[in-house]
Chain A
Amino acid sequence: MRDLLENHLEPGYQVAAARRSERPISPRARRLGAGTRVLVLLAIGVLLAVAYAQATARAPQAARTRAALADDVRARAALTDRLQRQATALRRKLNEEQARALTSSAAGAQAVRRLTDLDGATALVPVRGAGLIVTVGNAGGTPDPLTGVRPQNDPTTAGQIQDRDLAAIVNALWASGAEAISVGGQRLSPTSTIRSAGGAILVDFRPVSSPYQIRVIGDAGRMQPRFADSKAARSLTDFVQLYGITFKISRAGHLELPAAPATTLKYAVPSGPVR
């Protein structure tokens, strides 16, 4: 250890110098030595250049890939948003045309009412009304001892809302008499999914983030006690105590929920004529 820290020079240089002072070397050997020295230094130069090229080629490659993927994701999200808005507008136009065509007769008017109800129930059109807002959020985590900042959305800590928590809340809300629900701005249709991929929760394959705001349209006076008494709400209340998550239910006089992404039937065919 001591030798390592004190003698940095190859001991060979000293020995060679001593040998040389005893017996001078021939000019031929000197030329040969200079040649090998040049060769070795050439090799070292190439080595350094190659290592540099490797280092610069590798790091930006990873960064470039990540940036390209992120751009891709954003572009696709914008595209689906635009298509979704277009679909909603077309849907509204279609409904208006349908209503105009049908309202000439009493039976037609009844059919229009029934269609409008069904469209609302299947989340094909935006709806509005009074109801509840349920907000759940991840626990803040323990504050950093140096900075005092609470880490947000750290997927490694306990107290993270999971996809099954959101699904349980949504199911309890349906059971309490909800007529329309949106999670993080995503309207739920009869075939909606809530699942997780990596650290993110996806509602119909669109990511939502904490705090999760669940908007519910329904009879608030009836839904609130029923939901508060449900298993999902009771366990969440326990988690508030245990892990420090946030969980809040409040009434809202006026809520507007968007339409859900349109579902197309691929295998099921409606049986009988639609009345």
Chain B
Amino acid sequence: MIGAAALVVGLVLGIVFRPTVPIGLQPYLPIAVVAALDAVFGGVRAALDGIFDDRVFVVSFVSNVLVAGLIVFLGDHLGVGAQLSTGVVVVLGIRIFGNVAAIRRHVFRA
């Protein structure tokens, strides 16, 4: 519950203060968003399964964002940034879908 409140407060803060993203970091923003969504849905599912753990949640979020960013950064320098971005989005997208499906089963029993 407190987590949901923190998420909403973060959204409001972001909308009110409109922090600008440095130009150099802008290509990583979409990837970071997908990684963050993966961590959030993973955490919600774990909570519904009754096995949520703060440390796992925090570490998985930070490492997801860092690794996704690193892969895209490397890809950009090797000239395959677009392909690697697609790869990251596909992998994280599959996990998001799977976790959302599990949440749905928990909530609707269907």
Q: Which residues of A contact B94 (CB under 8 A)?
A: 4-5, 8
Q: CB distance A10 to B56 under 8 Å?
A: yes
A30 CA / B53 CA spacing, docked (Å): 9
Contact indicator B15/A53 (Cβ below 8 Å): yes
A79 sits at the interface (CB 8 A): no
Q: Does A40 contact B (CB under 8 A)?
A: yes
Question: From residue B104, how far is it (CB to closest CB) to chain A in Å?
Answer: 12
Q: In the complex, which of the residues B9, B29, B52 contacts A42, with contact meaning CB atoms closer than 8 Å? A: B9
Residues of B close to A33: CB separation below 8 A:
53-55, 58
Are A44 and B61 neighbours in the complex by a CB distance under 8 Å?
A: yes
Question: Is A89 an interface position by the 8 A CB rule?
Answer: no
- Given A4-B91, A8-B95, A38-B6, A51 and B29 contact (CB-CB distance below 8 Å): yes
With a CB–CB cut-off of 8 A, which chain A residues contact B32?
A: 47, 51
- Contact among A8, A30, A39 with B99 in the assembled complex (CB-CB below 8 Å): A8
- A13 at interface by CB-CB < 8 Å: yes
6 A-B pairs (CB sep. < 8 Å): A4-B94, A13-B56, A16-B55, A38-B2, A51-B33, A54-B29
A50 at the interface (CB under 8 A from B): yes
Q: How far is the CA of A43 from the CA of B58 in the complex (A)?
A: 11
User: In the complex, given contacts A44-B39, A47-B33, what are 9 additional A-B residue pairs having Cβ atoms less than 8 angstroms apart?
Assistant: A8-B95, A9-B49, A13-B52, A17-B50, A33-B54, A42-B13, A45-B11, A45-B12, A54-B26
A-B residue pairs, 9 tightest by C-beta: A45-B10, A49-B14, A8-B98, A33-B54, A17-B51, A16-B53, A46-B14, A41-B6, A12-B56
B9 to chain A, nearest CB (A): 6
Residues of chain A within 8 A of B79, CB atoms compared: none
Tell me whether B46 and A10 are in contact (CB under 8 A).
yes
Closest to B57 in A: A37
Min Cβ gap B19→A in Å is: 6
CA of A38 to CA of B95, assembled, Å:
23
| B102 & A9 in contact (Cβ 8 Å cutoff) | yes
How many angstroms between the C-alpha atoms of A14 and B32 in the bound complex?
25
- Residues of chain B within 8 A (CB-CB) of A40 are 39, 57-58, 61-62
CB of A34 closer than 8 Å to a CB of B: yes
Residues of B within 8 A of A37 (CB): 3, 6, 54, 57-58
Residue-wise interface mask of B (54-69) relative to A, using a CB-CB cutoff of 8 A (1 in contact, 0 not): 1111111110000000
Residue of A nearest to B101 (CB): A8
In chain B, positions 69-110 with a C-beta closer than 8 Å to chain A are 91, 94-95, 97-99, 101-102
Is A48 in contact with chain B by the CB < 8 A criterion? yes
Q: When the two chains form their complex, are residues B54 and A45 in contact, meaning their CB atoms are under 8 A apart?
A: no
Task: Tell me the complex Cα distance, A68–B94, Å.
Answer: 41
Residues of chain B within 8 A of A12, CB atoms compared: 53, 56, 59-60
A13 touches B51 (CB 8 A): yes
Min distance, Cβ B58 to any Cβ of chain A, angstroms: 5
Contact A50/B6 with A4-B94, A9-B42, A17-B53 known, Cβ cut-off 8 Å:
no
Across-interface contacts of B6 in A (CB, < 8 A): 37-39, 41-42, 45
Q: Is A266 an interface residue (CB 8 A)?
A: no
